[in-house]
Chain A
């Protein structure tokens, strides 16, 4: 009894909680980091910037929400990521306007085929076909309205539920369903020849 009181009075329980939270957070970030990177890359088409944005989102999640229950982390993380991507895109638009005004160029253009990673198969034809299909998907996704694209990526790529997607997108579940449905229909039409 007294020993238990003593242990509780010292820093052990707090340390254990922090340790537990650290292990859980590590596992969570490990699970989402690659998918988050691919989603970001598909959205902004710049590998280095995508890495920076993912790292920034991770840091922000740890700083602000590590004390929240672990089951809340996924939608919160994707909400942060979505906002970071949007900020980057807005910044890119402004930068593009300024460069355009001064007659400059925005640097190298993104080549989705070159960026498309090779799938785990040794069949060269299949590798090429998959690479092209993924490149086509990214290209068409870029043409889809932003909210529809976000809903599609979060629901389809990341596998978030409707309610989690609603939290990540800061909108109602009904809006998520509508955006997602429209994105699927639009992509189905535009990707018909590839799929």
Chain B
């Protein structure tokens, strides 16, 4: 008798769960769309609380990788740090903010050119310049 009750309870639980799952999976497209909009609206709250410059969902992986690359390049371009000076140059950080903050990807694409230009400036030292003239 008790076993019958338990098995009947189980049957009801399974049946109602199936019915509910069916009603969820067959929601009409309009309702699905409204739910998606509701989700985006809710996620805007998260973006609103994020620090300035945070980019939601898309871009991040690429821009983040590019940002790290720029960081490394700027870092390598700095003069040797002497004891007592700050661990990093504030100007380098400002450059990074300008590049990432505006979302100007064109500037990122020209980085290779600027790196090459920087190399040329190092190669053309006063000695080599004099030798070139003579």
Contacting pair B42 A118 (CB below 8 A)? no
B69 to chain A, nearest CB (A): 12
Interface bracket on A: 35 or more
Contacting pair B42 A62 (CB below 8 A)? yes
Do A62 and B43 contact each other (CB < 8 Å), given the known contacts A6-B88, A195-B11? yes
In-complex Cβ contact of A22 among B34, B57, B71 (8 A): B57
- In the complex, the chain A residue whose C-beta lies closest to that of B88 is A6
Contacting pair B46 A66 (CB below 8 A)? yes
A131 to chain B, nearest CB (A): 9
**Is B22 close to A, CB under 8 A?**
yes
What A residues does B16 contact at CB under 8 A? 137, 156-157, 187
**Is A113 close to B, CB under 8 A?**
no
Contacting pair A137 B19 (CB below 8 A)? yes
**Is B8 close to A, CB under 8 A?**
yes
**Is A35 close to B, CB under 8 A?**
yes
Do A15 and B54 contact each other (CB < 8 Å), given the known contacts A55-B38, A62-B43, A120-B25? yes
Q: Is the interface of B mostly helix, strand, loop or mixed?
A: helix
What B residues does A54 contact at CB under 8 A? 35, 38
Taking CB atoms and an 8 Å cut-off, the chain B residues in 1-56 that contact chain A are 8-9, 11-13, 15-17, 19-20, 22-28, 31-32, 34-36, 38-39, 41-43, 45-47, 49-51, 53-54, 56
Contacting pair B38 A33 (CB below 8 A)? yes
Contacting pair A117 B67 (CB below 8 A)? no
Contacting pair B43 A22 (CB below 8 A)? yes
Contacting pair B20 A156 (CB below 8 A)? yes
Contacting pair A18 B71 (CB below 8 A)? no
Do A157 and B9 contact each other (CB < 8 Å), given the known contacts A11-B53, A26-B39, A55-B41? no
Contacting pair A55 B42 (CB below 8 A)? yes
Chain B 84-115 interface 0/1 with A at a Cβ cutoff of 8 Å (1 = within)? 00011000010010000000000000000000
Residues of B at under 8 Å CB distance from A? Answer: 8-9, 11-13, 15-17, 19-20, 22-28, 31-32, 34-36, 38-39, 41-43, 45-47, 49-51, 53-54, 56-57, 60, 64, 67-68, 71-72, 75, 87-88, 93, 96
